[in-house]
Chain A
């Protein structure tokens, strides 16, 4: 799944905002957003698991919505705000409430599906600060994790929601 710019093809200049910082790069028309992020911008925190939009590992947030970055072309993200796992923690490196809950509940093992899980689950919490277990299950079911059996992930999201409410 490694991709590099093709020197011999027509190339596009893509300018986007990645985790609050403006970034630019050239891509082919066929370059996917995930490959652009990983191999052109060096943001390798986003992982690619299936390239057919099923596993969810590559999920990033584009203009406020979670998106499978393997199913979006890089040039489609031109001018948009893209947030990835690298931007979830604070500027000082402090883990977000959701990240802390993932750690507390052992919601990750190999870490490969984790970036996409965090993006989708944070989006859920942003939209719905009081999700039910069923609502969390529905979102987590949009992702594949081969390591954990999902119990820790679901508990982490519910716990993060509860703690975020306490802070407010």
Chain B
């Protein structure tokens, strides 16, 4: 982090970010910063009830309110035959039947299913007028009983969220060989069992969602500015599935976006409604969420209840793993809601271990809560939490060292086919563990524990050796598993006549620093200064296509597309250089920004070739087009598999239950690293969210009324600076074998690896007091109750 600032563009240099200047000076342009002439404002009237029939809506008073332009309800969207919000991944259940896909109307059709469900939209001259008019909209509700807990929702007699999903079940899905797993358990020396909850989280990007739509009657086109991570996907889903618009008439721009963490991947009702309404009122329509709306309407994350069993032989070698999870999908299927607890979860249950037989079942339920979808890690933190908790418990039950049980079971030969569908290409789990143990000074821990004991404090050490599958994804494999979209990425390299370069990428940056990292990749390859490369993203009108940013895919897939386009630039450049240098194309080498005739000092710089391409006076026009502009699409051959070891050291005050994380060490293998400073920043941010989940954050609904009790920053505990330790982070590199940069992705690792490390550490600290189990978040009350031997399940 404190490496001297290098003016170089080399891969592996901590180049300071190109985007920082505008963000440091107030020059960023986020969606709410955009103002269009004649702009009107939308305010959404949302359900105050978790579950209710809408008996009647009376618009008349609202329509008469000052400044009101229009009031629309579900009747208006139905009259325009607006489709429902689609789900991007079809899951087939254990019998091969498709999941239940009840309609997800952008404005409620006769029924509301969660607090915050959209009932109507008011469009007015000003935001305050729209909000004032919302008070005058009369909605008669017939309140129905609600169910918010997925376990309760699946029980007989529970309130039914959708008529088309009996027993609130979306699917019962399985993965793995059940018979082989049962056989493994039959020969087990010991079976460790665990029941754990993965607490529900609210993503809380600091920029609230926003959308501003403009319909241009002159050419029947739409422009939508939206806080979104994948504008092309947003456009595809909105035009093809909801509004039935021709895609070429819709431009989606995701300008500067203030954090996403998954929550801005999805197509939301508000985006669709403002786009549709902009034509109806023939005015630009702007909507910006306030924080209360963000809590109620941004897709939530996690919310699993799991029973897991691990079978071992007498030496602690894993023989089989059996997992049964109940997942809460919320009231509707969000864009990728169905895939998170299935293919992004079950497939990760092998972890770093050679467990030969694994069987997982996931029962996914609808409830009267906000839809649940991908949040930083998306399924992989849930899998890692189950696995790393049960492995640590197994070590305690088998009286084995926490590191030793992991070492005994590590995969060491690659490629490795797991019993849950993934083929790991490469990794070195032992080296990560060794390095993390040194970083955490594990050797000195007994002395630190003894010292703490003298002060009446309990110290513990917790491990998590995690794996993730990133770089989503081979389109054909994802398609076979139910994905309804491709998962490639696109990149375009536009070389300008004077040799500077604009890069257009389908990846989207909302804090990740792509404008710098991608520029480094291009600058290094072309041998030009990083200042000569600008990266453009987030606009369907400017780049060829894009699947966007999620699942730590940008450098692994988006970066690979750019490398492929650079291959084409280099190939064409060689042809041009061969002509200029009067040599055979096969004799031309490209290195350090120069095309050289091999074995000679005859060369032409990259800029000279670029100029020639655009001023083709001396140019092989009979054989070659002028210009130097190339586009490439890259579809990955496999997932990438970042992995690592996280070690938490905690100190617990047994009198109060207060936990202090005194040390957190992470050694991650992200493959090759382009910009170490940015990678470290991604790890820090992920750790903050993972530690937030473990220590502080918890989304709570009232079980009876379905009201969100943690609907503000006064109630939902976000990690602050004083809540977090200083992190010790390092990397170990095994380059990815199947993409041109050898990269794996680093965005989610911190959030995936850290929660079990923290919880395992606290259990380790309190094991001498008889504590065997804890649930997240580790509030002082919960920890204190566990120490007292009292039930820990509190709200």
Contact = CB atoms under 8 A, between A and B. Distances in A.
B721 A112 contact: no
Interface string A28-58: 1010000000110001111111111011010
8 closest Cβ contacts across the A-B interface?
A: A45-B26, A111-B23, A112-B258, A110-B511, A149-B684, A109-B511, A149-B688, A54-B713
Interface string B674-715: 000110110011011100000000000000000000001110
Contacts of B27: 45
B16 A103 contact: yes
A2 B127 contact: yes
B200 interface: no
B556 to A, nearest CB: 19
A16 interface: no
B288 interface: yes
Given A99-B25, A106-B678, A112-B206, A140 B721 contact: yes
B511 A6 contact: no
Interface string B415-452: 00000000000000000000000000000000000000
Residue picked from B28, B206, B712, B714, most chain A C-beta under 10 Å:
B206
Interface residues of B, number: 68
Contacts of A8: 66-67, 129
6 contacts: A1-B208, A84-B26, A102-B20, A113-B206, A140-B720, A146-B718
Given A2-B32, A109-B511, A55 B713 contact: yes
A108 B32 contact: no
Contact of A1 (B259, B290, B677): B290
A3 B39 CA distance: 11
A153 B257 CA distance: 20
Contacts of A1: 32, 127, 208, 288-290
Q: How large is the interface on A (under 10, 10 to 19, 20 to 34, 35 or more residues)?
A: 35 or more
Interface stretch (A61-69, A74-82, A85-93, A123-131): A85-93
A106 B24 CA distance: 11
A118 B94 CA distance: 54
Given A84-B26, A153-B721, A47 B258 contact: yes
Contact of A141 (B19, B259, B289, B721): B721
Interface in A120-168: 137-138, 140-141, 143-155
Given A52-B291, A57-B206, A2 B23 contact: no
A105 interface: yes
Contact of A154 (B206, B207, B721): B721
Contact of B722 (A30, A108, A138, A153): A138
Nearest to B683: A149
B41 A4 contact: yes
B128 A152 contact: no
A116 to B, nearest CB: 9
B24 A6 contact: no
B510 interface: yes
A152 B727 contact: no
B292 to A, nearest CB: 8
B721 A3 contact: no
Contact of B259 (A112, A137, A140, A152): A112
A25 interface: no
Given A1-B127, A137-B722, A152-B681, 10 more contacts: A4-B127, A6-B128, A7-B126, A8-B67, A55-B291, A103-B24, A112-B206, A112-B259, A144-B720, A155-B2
A89 B25 contact: yes
A49 B718 CA distance: 13
A59 interface: no
B136 interface: no
Interface string B249-267: 0000000111101000000
Nearest to B720: A141
Contacts of B510: 110
Contact of A112 (B17, B30, B678, B718): B30
Given A4-B125, A4-B127, A49 B26 contact: no
B259 A44 contact: no
Interface of A: 1-8, 28, 30, 38-39, 43-52, 54-55, 57, 84-86, 88-89, 93, 95, 99, 102-106, 108-115, 118, 137-138, 140-141, 143-155
Nearest to A103: B20
Residue picked from A5, A6, A57, A152, most chain B C-beta under 10 Å:
A6
B259 A103 contact: no
A50 B25 contact: no
A105 to B, nearest CB: 6
A36 B543 CA distance: 35
Interface in B122-167: 125-129
A140 to B, nearest CB: 4
Contacts of A93: 25
A152 B24 contact: no
B26 A86 contact: yes
Nearest to B25: A89
Nearest to A8: B66
B196 to A, nearest CB: 25
Interface of B: 1-2, 5, 16-17, 19-30, 32-33, 35, 41, 66-67, 125-129, 204-208, 256-259, 261, 286, 288-291, 510-513, 677-678, 680-681, 684-685, 687-689, 712-714, 718, 720-724, 726-727, 750
A146 to B, nearest CB: 5
B127 A108 contact: no
Nearest to A93: B25
Residue picked from A2, A140, A150, most chain B C-beta under 10 Å:
A2
Contact of B713 (A43, A52, A109, A140): A52
B291 A110 contact: no
Contact of A110 (B24, B29, B207, B721): B207
B258 A111 contact: yes
A49 B126 CA distance: 20
A85 B129 CA distance: 30
A51 B511 contact: no
Contacts of A54: 712-714
Nearest to A153: B721
Contacts of B727: 149, 151
Contacts of A47: 30, 206-207, 258
B718 A144 contact: yes
Contacts of A143: 720-721
Contact of A144 (B20, B206, B681): B206
A21 B453 CA distance: 60
Given A6-B67, A151-B726, A151-B727, A102 B24 contact: yes
A108 B256 CA distance: 13
A3 B1 CA distance: 40
Contacts of B513: 109
Contact of B206 (A88, A145, A149, A155): A145
Nearest to A150: B721
Contacts of A48: 32, 208
Contacts of A141: 720-723
B724 A146 contact: no
A4 B126 contact: yes
Nearest to B675: A106
Given A47-B258, A49-B291, A105-B1, A150 B128 contact: no
Contacts of B207: 47, 49, 110, 112
Given A1-B32, A44-B26, A148 B688 contact: yes
A108 B23 contact: yes
A97 B207 CA distance: 26
A109 B259 CA distance: 8
B750 to A, nearest CB: 8
B208 A146 contact: no
A131 to B, nearest CB: 13
B284 to A, nearest CB: 11
A151 B289 CA distance: 29
Contacts of A3: 126-128
A86 B678 CA distance: 25
Contacts of B125: 4, 7
Nearest to B20: A103
